[in-house]
Amino acid sequence: MGRKIAAHYALIEGELRRNIVVEVDDMRQIVSITQTESLDNMAGVEFHPGILIPGMINLHCHLELSYLRGSIAEGSGFAGFARAIGQVRGNFSTEQRIRAASLWDSVMWQEGVEAVLDIANDDLVMGVKEQSQIEYHTLFEAFGLGLTSLESHKKMAQNYNHSTLTPHSTYSLQDSIFREACISNNSTISIHLLESRDEIELYDNRGSLAEWYQRMGWECDFLSYGSPARRVAESVASNRRTVCVHGCMATADDISLLDSHFQGGVTWALCPESNRFISRIKPPVELLRSLGARVGIGTDSLASARSLSMIDNMRQLGDIPLAELLTWATLNGARALGIDDRMGEIAVGKRPGLVIIEGADLSSLRLTEQSCARRLV
């Protein structure tokens, strides 16, 4: 049996519209969208107070780090966070890690996440993801200045559906292995980019990353690119679908450079909760909007977030028109993953999932502290 669902507003074609009835069949496919005069006395229609949206796309997550929730102090800064994660990582059993991933996977599903671009360093929680109702796209991450081979990454990627390789960042990999990780990717590339000032200063041989590398005796063979954004533009083929994660320090020049390099543009995956947690900084939302950049939303991991709530991250992005903000969390993520032919918007023939946002201010169309998302379909 199919269902007919209505709410105060529904996100349709990028707009918040009233008096919409969405009909979905028992395979979760949308079979009709109708606009009526009024929703009063419509027999057989479920009415949910709030805003009806398609299932959300979490464009940046590390589900495998869910066990680290509450283990790392807030505000420790970029280098401090990296050190702290190394210190606490060994304190947990395999079972604890799997249990945490399983728990947070089901929380994300209930809160309306339909697909995740998920970063992985090993395959410990791949079983959780394979059994999940969420569609995970896993990127096995190449990481480490001493890394010289991607054989183990390639083997892991071969073993699982929707999985491939990606480079971690422009500061953690030498030149040739960074390029090889991009070439080996057969889906969406995701790069942690311009999260902190230290990443930029490294290219001038200063700042905390440069000092740390010097202390450890590690050399970088990629500093001649001059900047993180230039390294990406000169190392990644222009026809690749690419997600840049964080972008807190991105300038107008960086954003324009990457947009003009990539034929289909780039998507900036903003994770404001993680930025607040680690460094008390904010992504440059207004700059990205003013340049017409494409934005998606991620939660990052529970090592640097209180929750994996997409709504919490949206709320922290500030006063963005709600229809636009919701499009970032849905269709833009689906486009970045190349799955917008079946997910990311409420449209006939698609199977996006249906989610109700409750507790929003419906007169000003803003998210409030009470707003939350709940899966209907």
Positions in the binding site for Zn ion (CB under 5 A)? 300
54 versus 298: smaller Cβ distance to Zn ion = 298
Give min distance, CB of 246 to Zn ion, in A. Answer: 8
Nearest residue to Zn ion, by Cβ distance, number only: 300
Dihedral sign for Cα atoms in the order 350, 352, 354, 355: negative
9 versus 140: smaller Cβ distance to Zn ion = 140
- Token pair, residue 161, equals 């559906």
Give min distance, CB of 99 to Zn ion, in A. Answer: 22
122 versus 219: smaller Cβ distance to Zn ion = 122
304 versus 371: smaller Cβ distance to Zn ion = 304
Q: How far apart are CA 340 and CA 317, in angstroms?
A: 24
Give min distance, CB of 61 to Zn ion, in A. Answer: 8
300 versus 345: smaller Cβ distance to Zn ion = 300
Give min distance, CB of 337 to Zn ion, in A. Answer: 16
Concatenate the DSSP letters of all residues of 303-351 into one string: TS-S---HHHHHHTT-S--HHHHHHIIIIIHHHHHT-TTTSSS--TT--
Give min distance, CB of 298 to Zn ion, in A. Answer: 8
Q: How far apart are CA 232 and CA 218, in angstroms?
A: 21
Give min distance, CB of 41 to Zn ion, in A. Answer: 49
Give min distance, CB of 269 to Zn ion, in A. Answer: 9
278 versus 288: smaller Cβ distance to Zn ion = 278
Give min distance, CB of 119 to Zn ion, in A. Answer: 6
114 versus 300: smaller Cβ distance to Zn ion = 300
301 versus 371: smaller Cβ distance to Zn ion = 301
Identify the DSSP state of 252.
Answer: H
Give min distance, CB of 249 to Zn ion, in A. Answer: 15
Amino acid occupying residue 87: Q
Amino acid occupying residue 233: A
Burial class (CB in 10 A: 0-12, 13-18, 19+), 146: exposed
60 versus 335: smaller Cβ distance to Zn ion = 60
